[in-house]
Structure formats: C-alpha cells, structure tokens
Structure 1
Amino acid sequence: MDTRSKVLQLFKALHRTRQEVFKGDSQALEAARQKINSEFRRDLTELSPEKITELLKFGSDVEIILRKTVIQGVLSNHGTISIAPRKEILLDNLPFTENPTQKDT
C-alpha cells in the first residue's frame, strides 16, 4: 500500500472514531474535527519517509487511545455525572482472589 493510501486510511479512521466516541456532543465533535484536520494540514508537505512513518504511527496510536479510553460523561442538574461506556471500553470483571495464580511466560 502506498503512503498516500495509508495517510487517507488513517485520516478516515480518526474521523470515524471521532464520530463514535463523541456521538451526541456537537462541541466535542467539532473540536476533534478541527484538530484532526489541522494536524493533517500541518504536515501536508512532509516528504521524509521516516517522518511520515513516525506520523502515521502517532496517528494510529491516537486513534487507539481515543477508541479504547475516552468515556463521555453527562452532567445532570443534581451535580452528578452519568456515563454510558461503549462496548470496547468495558472489560471482563474478574473476581478478587487473595492468592492470584502466576501465568507462565
């Protein structure tokens, strides 16, 4: 896959993740859209293959962090925050044990 295709693929992935993570929050959606677009525009003229590879890795890491760690909260009138985590964020709840078993590595 050529570099241009990788860049466009990452650009689209970041925007899809933005839409999923900030669904229903127009202010956050717009801020994330502007940030993604400005970051890609800033490096539009980059020609160094090493630098482009580094930027692609960074963008990919950002997409993963957004998808796996960001949780939206909604502040209610009573001063409480309610959250609705996405399926990707929820982990299996393992019961506590006093003597955890060691995994062989």
Structure 2
Amino acid sequence: MSDMKDYLWLVKTNKGDFFITVLGNWTQEEAAKKIQLVFEKIKLDITAMIPRKRVTGPDDAMGTIYQQEEPKDELGFEFLGGKKLWEVCGRGTEYEAERIRLKKEMEVES
C-alpha cells in the first residue's frame, strides 16, 4: 500500500456537519464515493461535501474511512465514526457499548 493517500472532507447533512478522513490508494473521486456509500448506509443525507486541508471541529464530529490491506468484503474498507455521528443516526447506545467493550478488552491485554 505504498500509494496510500489521505483526503479530508467537511460533509454537511441536515443533522450536522462532520469531518471525514479517507485513507487508501484511491483517487479523490473514488474516495468521495466511499463517503457517499457510508452515509447512504447510515441513512444520513449529504447536502454538501467540501474538500478541506485540515480539521477545525470537535473530535466526536469526525469519522475515518480506511482501506483494508486484505479486503474482507466487497467494499474493501472500514469506517470508524465519532460519537456525534452515531448519535445523529440514532445509534449512540451502540457507540457507547463498543467503547466499553474495547476498554475492557484493552484492560485484559495489559
């Protein structure tokens, strides 16, 4: 994955604005399509996508799409969303449960 690039967008929706980073060896247009796929899946309508050079918002209003080294499914990428993003989708409880699970998992490994 030597051609790894990163792109940043300010994605505006009717439920808030989010900074989304895309990491992978995709063109900017391909990376934009990944964002659109994710937002369709989580049922948030995009009203605008603005390419940015740096983030200027809170961490919980962010998300990251990254390319899998060995694709596990037909999408070939993973999505990590911040708390605000999951809450506006009505999935804040799932987000909190996952955080607790990961914290306990890290404690066991220590």
Larger relative helix fraction:
1
If the length of structure 2 is used for normalisation, what is the TM-score? 0.33
* Structure with more strand by fraction: 2
TM-score, normalisation: structure 1: 0.34
